[in-house]
Structure 1
Amino acid sequence: MESFSYNEFSEGLYSEAVTVTGPAKFIYLAGIGPKTPEGEVLHKDNFLEQCRLVWDKVEEVLKANGATLADIVKATSYLIDVRDRGDMQTCRAEAFEGQVFPPHTFLNVSQLARPGMMIEVDVVAAVAAE
């Protein structure tokens, strides 16, 4: 996998493109939200904690499928309040800890799957085929 950025704006925020060469297994995650397995939304009034929980859950699901955050080839974040964008960047920087950011699309939406959710993330990852 190789990452590319073509504009100064994207440097340090996200890769503009990722190429995957050779046989690969792709892992598609459904939207991950700040919920318990029973569906209870956590940290309803704290965007940063919701975001951290979401990326922890993304990491868990990837690990269960033989991948890591470094294997993400595309991420999409859905936020209900554009003013949380800065905290989202902080949260992503914490999650990726100095790694190259994958291509990322940020979408501001009016609501998410459950009341109280402020963020949802879906990702696609690729690892070498077995």
Structure 2
Amino acid sequence: MVFLCHSLADNGTAKVDIMSNFEKQNYNYSEWTKARFSEVVTVSGPGTLIFLAGVGAEDENGTIGTILFPGDVFGQCRYAFDKIKRLLARHRATVADIVKIVTYVTDIRSAGDYFKCLTEALGDAPRPAHTFLNINQ
């Protein structure tokens, strides 16, 4: 994602200044993500945007790659949202601040459990934009 800030040059044409008013920071809180990707990226400027990536049921404190609650979509979802809530809290945000969710499942039959979990996790928060994708391995 690139942020563009527009201003007018002396001759009245648009001059583009990329990222001059923004600061980007990358964060990793678990061994699972270090050297793979950033768990959280914040972009601060007039406000702060928080981007989360790769949050799932991976055990944060165990062997790298260990998935908790195998075969239990509701349990995996609940664990993932617990991690999401903690990550957001570290950056002074809550689920009410979520703008968009992208979810991938490998079995469409898990949709019922997933949406039950999502409803529980979001509580009374406004519903964000949401993409729900069934993928094959």
Q: What is the CA–CA distance in structure 1 between the aligned matches of 2:129 and 2:107, rounded to whole Å?
A: 21
Give the equivalent residue in structure 2 for 1:44: 70
Report the Cα offset of residue 44 of structure 1: 0.6
Deviation per residue, 1:89-130 (Å, 9 max, x gap): 10011001122211111011113xxxxxxxxxxxxxxxxxxx
Give the 3-state SS of the residue equivalent to 2:53 in structure 1: coil
Matches within 5 A, 1:89-104: 89-104=115-130
Q: What is the CA–CA distance in structure 1 between the aligned matches of 2:123 and 2:51, rounded to whole Å?
A: 22
Give the equivalent residue in structure 1 for 2:83: 57
What amino acid does structure 2 have at the position aligned with 1:84?
A: S
In the superposition, the TM-score normalised over structure 2's length comes to 0.62
Q: What is the CA–CA distance in structure 1 between the aligned matches of 2:91 and 2:65, rounded to whole Å?
A: 22
Could you list the runs of 5+ residues in structure 1 that have no partner in the other structure?
1-22, 112-130
Query: Which of these two proteins has the greater Rg computed from alpha carbons?
Result: 2
Structure 1 segments (4+ residues) deviating >6 Å: none
Give the 3-state SS of the residue equivalent to 1:61 in structure 2: helix
Could you list the runs of 5+ residues in structure 2 that have no partner in the other structure?
1-45
RMSD: 1.5
Give the equivalent residue in structure 1 for 2:92: 66
Give the 3-state SS of the residue equivalent to 1:106 in structure 2: strand
Give the equivalent residue in structure 1 for 2:41: none
Q: Give percent identity, aligned residues only.
A: 40
Q: What is the CA–CA distance in structure 2 between the aligned matches of 1:67 and 1:106, rounded to whole Å?
A: 23
Give the equivalent residue in structure 1 for 2:54: 31
Report the Cα offset of residue 79 of structure 1: 0.6
Give the equivalent residue in structure 2 for 1:106: 132
What amino acid does structure 1 have at the position aligned with 2:115?
A: Q
In the superposition, the TM-score normalised over structure 1's length comes to 0.65
